[in-house]
Structure 1
């Protein structure tokens, strides 16, 4: 993996270490809430404090919500948000391809990027889950992970807007990720407008390359975060 340096063109003022910190923290916060996540709050607090406020304050707001909400309520809200709302899907290729034949090829693009970095996913785990993509960007290959995020910027923005509209506590995670990326271009804005108007394609054909038993959503198992501050 590349050693930390300065951020890429298009992310002025961001060091690689800061990008890694935001993406790692965001990947954890987008996983299914459980006792392990709650135990990591002190570490995530230190991570949020170590990055620019544009992202750190938004991550801090999500952590405030975790502090104030019973775990059972967090879990119920997570399922209601990400499993039951079409525009709040955490699988990035869904926004471009829906459940169409083209989505299978798009998933292979993610899988090949991970394999090139020496990473292999379990057969039942789809590689375009946003938490997985952020984990890859943070700990696998920063440049390739950032490329995948930018390629699916319209879907990320639609997800952020949908969470904002519903006043979801997870909005802050998407705001933080968005803060690490370049401003939307005119082309990106057009793509977002089309998604808002039309939504993802609706052809139902399955995802043959990954089998029919892949989960629609739910817990994503991730390694311990690699962020400044040491153990919680």
Structure 2
């Protein structure tokens, strides 16, 4: 059997695990990871099957804004690698900066901006090539499957910031000028760590809200969780179909 696929679930996306036939559960503490303090992050690994493929689902993640460093934030990716995962799929909740990518939809990451000010590779000359972070072959497969399912799957650049505060309208204007299509507080460090380990990476943003200054609405984490839960079915069907390839 092929090696297991790793899936990391972001804020409000815990329901994505509902279609997984779970055979074993490992808590973050048991795996040597710090616990998550954020609502919507269960803090456990689920071993099981999805679409006929063995998967390990990381239900929740660790963030820089919780007071952890880049090494702790990416410990889950290293643990997945130790379990035999060679392709990891990262998901997150993000604000959309692109007028054509409305909230409630999904964006597949084609590239990212690491604006966290740190890296899990600090501490040595770890000069890892980042010219192709997100696996091109998998991107084509996901687009084809999305078309078959009638799912609109946007593609774009994700800007990863430290948080925990949301961005100001001026910061959003800056990010748009830099070419970002979505913004969030995770994913980029995990992608860097995965590539350093030789893993293939795919990533998806659930676009939960318009970024600051693009709507009169006040940004709220409860809205993020609710929108993520409502959009979970679409991406779960896509991941299940991809695991069945």
Higher relative contact order (CA 8 A, sep 6+): 1
Instruction: Give the TM-score taking structure 1 as reference length.
Output: 0.28
Under a length normalisation based on structure 2, what TM-score does the superposition of the two structures give?
A: 0.27
